[in-house]
Amino acid sequence: MEDGFRLSADHIDPISNPPNFKTAGILNENYFGSTAPWHHISTGTITLTNDNGAVFSVRSVTLAELPNRTQEGDPINFGPFDIEFVGTRNNGSQVSETVTVDSFITLAPYDLSALTGLVAVTWAQGAGGSGVATHMFDDILVVVGCCADNECDDGDPCNGIESCAPSGACDTSLNADCNGNLTEDACDIAQGTSLDCQSNGVPDECELGGNDCNADSIPDDRTCAGAFFPCNFGQ
Ligand SMILES: [Ca+2]
Ligand SMILES: [Ca+2]
Ligand SMILES: [Ca+2]
Ligand SMILES: [Ca+2]
């Protein structure tokens, strides 16, 4: 597992039956040449996140049906089944991609191309049976970094309009925040937390330097109500 990445197992009853992963060692009947994990509960989900906070893309994963067994212990091949991978982006929106797994016993690679700019990706273990077989997985190929601005957008323009920098990191700096309240100044004005008596797009508290002769916190400007050349009356 690459630094910062974390796999977690979840399901609807985590208290009485704590979710975890199983893996097959060489003595396990499900060991087929590669040690691959699976969720120990068929109704569970598996989530990959990057604790470093950087967005990432998933390029591919190796998958195989995790066989059920007959009473005699022979593996049952339920045939092809789908796994839907659901990616979550910084703004909470989702992208998904479904692969049809036809690998029985032996892990095979499956390409994923839609899962870009993620903060997490989740998929289900599979309820078991025809069309919803359980699976094991391995070798999740991820690329850290963004490719497009929308992969960085958190859906809130007032805390900055995030963009994807050429370095692949999300640029979360604010466009204009002269009053340092970590809110775009345009939002300060639109929300009424700052006044803009001249309608110049700049919160008035940022325009007082040398421009407030009567110290009333209103810029000395012809257009500001109650501040009509306060120090130059009559001129
Ligand atoms: Ca934002
Ligand atoms: Ca501001
Ligand atoms: Ca102003
Ligand atoms: Ca003033």
- Ligand 4 centre to CA of 77 (Å) is 81
As a 3-state breakdown, the chain gives helix, strand, coil percent values, each rounded to 5, of 5, 30, 60
Nearest ligand, CA 176: 2
**Above pLDDT 70, what percent of the chain?**
90
Where are the strands (E) in the chain, listed by range? 5-10, 21-23, 37-39, 45-50, 56-65, 68-69, 75-76, 81-89, 94-101, 108-111, 118-124, 135-144, 163-164, 170-171
- Ligand 1 centroid – CA 153 distance (Å): 6
Q: Which ligand is nearest to the CA of 190?
A: 2
Ligand nearest to the CA of 201: 3
Q: Please give the structure tokens belonging to residue 89.
A: 């982006």
Per residue in 18-75, pLDDT tens? 888 888 766 676 666 677 888 988 889 999 999 887 899 999 999 999 988 889 988 8
Q: What is the pTM of this model?
A: 0.76
How far, in Å, is the centroid of ligand 2 from the Cα of 187?
7
CATH class of 5-146: mainly beta
- Domain borders along the chain are 5-146, 175-235
Which ligand has the minimum distance to the alpha carbon of residue 216?
A: 4
Ligand number, closest to the Cα atom of 158: 1
